[in-house]
Structure formats: structure tokens, C-alpha cells
Amino acid sequence: MAEKNLLEQLREMTVVVADTGDIQAIQKFTPRDATTNPSLITAAAQMPEYQEIVDETLKKAKQDAGSGASDKEIATLAFDRLAVAFGLKILEIVPKRVSTEVDARLSYDTEATIEKGRYLISEYEAAGISRERVLIKIASTWEGIKAAEVLEKEGIHCNLTLLFGIHQAIACAEAGATLISPFVGRILDWYKKDTGKDYAPTEDPGVVSVTSIYNYYKKYGHKTEVMGASFRNIGEIVELAGCDLLTISPGLLGELQATTGELVRKLDPEKAATMTIDQIAMDKATFDQMHTADRMASEKLDEGIKGFTKALETLETLLATRLAHLDESALVSPLAENVFHAYDLDGDGFITREEWMGTDAVFDALDSNKDGKITPEEMGAGLGAVPELVK
């Protein structure tokens, strides 16, 4: 009998999710779950096959917003509806769930986040989709976590993202969140930049963080699922074998599929239950104190919210420009330069993986020369490109 590859073995102990934000890529790989995000909508909005969806959504948003609404206001309304429209397309492909993001600008507003979550679910339900198939994706601020607590009590399931510290994870679990998405690779990126060191997979700060979160959850019986995300190499994945879910880019899925050898389960709920782990009573004062003390978590959360906000504002500008041309039936050319500037946070002329707020798979597709940076030329040439996927 042929030896099983690492991907086959991983699937026996962990739910594997494809980390890709491209609908065509999802069609090829058919992951269990998937997500919508600003980078998907930005890319798809400029692809001919999705032009009708975008244009019809803009026209309907203009009609519903009323005659006095500005193009910017209409574009803001259209963004939410486009997120749902693409979520519905994704749900025709994936067997389980789609995550749809709440506007990052609401990350510190609990009531507005609750309202947005209810609205997004109502749009899905109006289309005949059960709320069991939708996760509302919310940033792991204290305010976002409190919003998730309310939504979960209403049967609206939440995916808490931009999660970098144990204090965020504990607060999410106590709020009853369905899922958290700690960013393994982005934690590693921060530490490498801060210390100048390279880390072996066993010492990788992202791996250490997710392992600690997983063990804490299993020790104290929290039902919130842990989905490790944003991997830089298969060594990180191997060290997190056994995690509830792992979302992995197509390139790394290919490496796992091409690699044989024994995969040892590293995360195990029965082992975690026997560990000595101090329980932390989480309230806002404790959360704020731990968040301030954790420079990496506070910097990455702030950076993530600012990045998502800038990307959303650029997308709204693109949609408003598209809307302005609709009455003239003119085609709007791809505004890749504007998209580029949304992600080039420090204005140095290229986008690093740290700055990129979309999925790793889309970054890899745009980074044509694989130097870890996206130039304006690569953005213009590759926006909407589909990464090669594992068959």
C-alpha cells in the first residue's frame, strides 16, 4: 500500500480549509468552508464574468438608497450586498459555511456591529440560506467580541478574526464565539521583523500562540473552534496537526500533498485536559491590560483594522466610479493603481506580505516573481489572477 502523504494524514485529524479568496479557485478546489473579503470583491468586480453581478447590485443599491444619496453612500450600501452576492455564489460550491466580513470601520462600535451582523444574516435568509451556513466575520476588539456575544445568543454564528493574543482568544471563548482565526504567519512576521531572528517551526511564535490557545480551550471545555490561518511554511502546519481547523493556501496544500512521512498529532484535547494551565477571568480591564502589555497583538490588531479600512474605502471608490459610468453604459477600466495604494500602507512603492490584508493565496498569485513583494506592475498584470491549485 502506498504511503500516505502529509495532506491525507492531516485530514484525518484536522478539518482542512482552502485559504483562497477567488471564486474560480474555490470552484477548482471545493474546500469545506470559504470566505468573502474586500480583496475578493475588488478583484471580482473587475473580472468580466462578474460584471453583471456588480452592475445589477449597484443599480439596485442606487434605487433603494433614494434620489438624494451620493455615489459614495450607494457604494457603501452596495458593498454589503456584493459581499452577500459573492457569498451566495460560494455557497453553491462549498458544502458547509461562508464567512462574510463586517465593515472594519465598525470594529470599535458594538451596537453598529450587531446591527450589521443582523443585516447580513437577513440578506442571506432572504435568499433562502440558513444562518447555520454563514459566519459573520468580526475583528477581535473588545467591542467586536461583545457584539459577537449578542449575535451568538440570537443564533447568528461568528468568526472572530485579527486575533493575535491569548487575551483575545479567552474573551472570544467566554463570549461563545463559534470560531476564531488566529494568524500564525503574521505573528511570525512581526517577531522576525522585531528581533531579526529566524525561528524553527517548534519555536515559531505563531505556532506557540495557537498551541497555547488550543490547549487552554480544551483544558477548560470551551466549544469555540480554533482555525489556524496565515501559514508561511509546511513546518508550521505540521506543528499544529490536530488543531480543529487549519486554513491553508493552495501552494502549501500542494507541498503537503507532495510530501510523505509520518505526521504526528501535536494538538490533542485529551492531552490538553491533563495540563496545568492557569485560568484567566476575563473582563474589560483585564483585556485592556493584557492587550497593552502585548505589543505584538496591539500593533497587529491596529494595523489589520487600518488595512481593512483602507481597502474598503478604495473598493467603495471603485464602486462609485463604476456607478458613475453605468448610466452612460461605459466600461470602467481596472483601477489597479488605486487598489495598490490601498495596500501599500507605508507608501514605499511595493506591498509586503505584512501589509497585505487579503488571503495569502491571492498575494501569492499577484507576486509573480516570488520575491515577497507586489509591485504596481504586478498588481496591474495580475489582479484577479487564479493561483494554480492542487487537483
pLDDT surpasses 50 at 265: yes
pLDDT above 90 for 129:
yes
Residue predicted with more confidence, 76 or 288: 288
For 273, list phi and psi in degrees, rounded to 5: -65, -25
| 389 has pLDDT over 50 | no
Asked if pLDDT for residue 98 goes beyond 70, the answer is yes
pLDDT of residue 341: 65
Q: What is the DSSP letter of 164?
A: -
Asked whether residue 374 is assigned to any structural domain, the reply reads no
Query: Residue 358 — very low, low, confident or very high, per pLDDT cuts 50/70/90?
Result: low
365, 226 in Cβ contact below 8 A? no
pLDDT of residue 334: 45
pLDDT in tens, 141-157: 999 999 999 999 999 99
Report the C-alpha gap between 130 and 36 in whole angstroms: 17
**Residue found under cell 485559504:** 19
Tell me, yes or no, whether 145 lies in a domain. Answer: yes
Confidence grade of residue 384 (pLDDT, cut at 50, 70, 90): very low
Whether this prediction's pTM lies above 0.85 is answered by no
- Report residue 375's pLDDT band, with 50, 70 and 90 as the boundaries: confident
- pLDDT classification of 189: cutoffs 50, 70, 90: very high
Classify residue 334: in a domain, yes or no. Answer: no
Instruction: Look at residue 163 in the predicted model and tell me its pLDDT.
Output: 97
Q: Structural domain tally of the chain?
A: 1
Catalytic residue among 28, 62, 116, 137: 137
**Which residue range is the domain that position 145 belongs to?**
6-329
Looking at the domain assignment, is residue 291 inside a domain? yes
Contacts (Cβ under 8 Å, ≥6 apart) of 197: 191
Q: pLDDT tens digit string along 32-53?
A: 777 777 766 776 666 777 778 8
Instruction: Say whether pLDDT at 71 is over 50.
Output: yes
137 catalytic residue (yes or no): yes
Average pLDDT value for residue range 286-310: 94
Confidence of residue 336 (pLDDT cuts 50, 70, 90): low
CA angle at 249 for the pair 247 and 252, rounded to the nearest 5°: 110
Q: Is the pLDDT of residue 226 over 90?
A: yes
Give the tens place of pLDDT for each residue, 149-186.
999 999 999 999 999 999 999 999 999 999 999 999 99
Q: Give pLDDT, residue 50.
A: 78
In the chain, where do the E strands start and end? 15-18, 34-35, 98-101, 134-139, 158-163, 179-182, 225-228, 245-248, 351-352, 373-374
Long-range contacts of 281-288 (CB under 8 A, 24+ apart): 282/167, 282/170, 282/171, 282/174, 284/142, 286/167, 287/142, 287/167, 287/168, 287/171, 288/142
Give the largest CA-CA distance in the chain.
Answer: 69
**Per mean pLDDT, which range of 15-19, 117-121, 174-178, 182-186 is the poorest?**
15-19
- Return the pLDDT at 359: 57
The mean pLDDT value of the chain amounts to 85
Q: Taking residues 283-295, what's their average pLDDT? A: 98
- Please indicate, yes or no, if residue 290 is contained in any of the structural domains: yes
Decide if 144 is inside a domain.
Answer: yes
Q: Say if 233 falls within a structural domain.
A: yes
| Whether the predicted pLDDT of 383 surpasses 70 | no
* DSSP β-bridge partners for residue 373: 352
Spatial neighbors of 106 by CB under 8 A, at least 6 apart, are: 112, 113, 116
Query: Does 10 fall in a domain?
Result: yes
Q: Is 333 in contact with 383 (CB distance < 8 Å)? A: no
CA–CA distance, 287 with 279 (Å, rounded to integer): 14
Of the candidates 120, 91, 79, the residue with the CA atom closest to the CA atom of residue 26: 91
Burial of 323 (0-12, 13-18, 19+ CB in 10 A): buried
Distance in Å from the first CA to the final CA of the chain: 21
Q: What is the CATH number of the domain that holds 184?
A: 3.20.20.70
